[in-house]
Amino acid sequence: MAGKKDSILIASPLIACNPFCAELKEKGLPYDSIWLQIGHVIRHLDYVTCLSDEQRLLVREAFEEYLKLLPGQGKAGVERLGLDLLGEIDKLKRAGVTKSLKMEQDFNADLLNAISKNLHQLRLIIGKAETCGMIESLKADTLQSIKSAKGRAEILKIVESGFRDLHRKVKTSQEKMEISLESLLVLEANAIIDKLTGIFNRRFFDQELPKIVETFIDKQGKVPFSLMLLDIDRFKEINDTYGHFIGDRALQRVAAIIQNNCRAGIDSPIRLGGDEFALFLIGTNEANAVKKGENIRREISKRTMSFTQRETDAAPHDVSFTVEVSIGVCQLDIAWQGMAPNELNKNPVFCDAADDNPIAKLTCMLAESTDQALYQAKDLGRNQVRAFGRE
Give the tens place of pLDDT for each residue, 89-128.
777 767 666 666 666 666 666 666 666 666 655 555 555 4
* 358 pLDDT tier (thresholds 50, 70, 90): very high
Q: Containing domain of residue 175, as a range? A: 127-192
Percent of the chain topping pLDDT 90: 37
Q: Are residues 93 and 214 in the same domain?
A: no
**Phi-psi bin for 313: left (phi > 0), alpha (psi -120 to 50), beta?**
left
What angle do the packed helices 133-147 and 152-173 form, to 10 degrees? 160
Q: Are residues 161 and 295 in the same domain?
A: no
Task: Write phi, then psi, for 306 (nearest 5 degrees).
Answer: -115, 140
Q: Are residues 148 and 276 in the same domain?
A: no
Q: Identify whether 181 is part of a domain.
A: yes
Task: Write phi, then psi, for 245 (nearest 5 degrees).
Answer: -65, -50
Q: Are residues 315 and 286 in the same domain?
A: yes
Is the Cβ–Cβ distance between 267 and 279 less than 8 Å? Answer: yes
Cβ contacts of residue 263 below 8 Å, gap of 6+?
A: none
The residue that leads in pLDDT, 125 or 344, is: 344
Q: Are residues 218 and 166 in the same domain?
A: no
Give the tens place of pLDDT for each residue, 211-221.
999 999 999 99
Q: Identify whether 172 is part of a domain.
A: yes
Give the tens place of pLDDT for each residue, 7-48.
333 333 334 445 656 666 666 665 556 776 777 777 777 766
Q: Identify whether 112 is part of a domain.
A: no
Task: Write phi, then psi, for 217 (nearest 5 degrees).
Answer: -65, -45
Q: Are residues 46 and 73 in the same domain?
A: yes
Amino acid at 293: G
Pick from 242-256, 275-289, 316-330 the range whose average pLDDT is largest: 275-289
What CATH number corresponds to the domain at position 325? 3.30.70.270
Q: Are residues 219 and 188 in the same domain?
A: no
Q: Give bridge partners of residue 387 from the DSSP assignment.
A: 329
Mean pLDDT score, 296-319: 78
Tell which of 173, 192, 211 closes a domain.
192
Pick from 81-85, 161-165, 295-299, 341-345 the range whose average pLDDT is largest: 295-299
Q: Identify whether 197 is part of a domain.
A: no
Is the Cβ–Cβ distance between 200 and 271 less than 8 Å? Answer: yes
Q: Does an H or E element contain 281, and which? A: strand 276-282
Q: Are residues 288 and 373 in the same domain?
A: yes
Q: Identify whether 309 is part of a domain.
A: yes
Give the tens place of pLDDT for each residue, 143-163.
666 666 666 677 777 777 777
Q: Identify whether 111 is part of a domain.
A: no
Sign of torsion, CA 72 77 78 81? negative
Q: Are residues 37 and 85 in the same domain?
A: yes
Q: Identify whether 114 is part of a domain.
A: no
**Phi-psi bin for 345: left (phi > 0), alpha (psi -120 to 50), beta?**
beta
Q: Are residues 94 and 9 in the same domain?
A: yes
The number of distinct structural domains making up the chain is 3
Q: Identify whether 103 is part of a domain.
A: no
Q: Are residues 160 and 59 in the same domain?
A: no
Q: Are residues 256 and 211 in the same domain?
A: yes
How many helices (H) and strands (E) would you count in the chain? 15, 7
Is the Cβ–Cβ distance between 200 and 206 less than 8 Å? Answer: no
- Give the chain's mean pLDDT: 77
Core vs surface per residue 154-176: b (16+ CB within 10 A) or e? ebbebbeebbeebeeebeeeeee
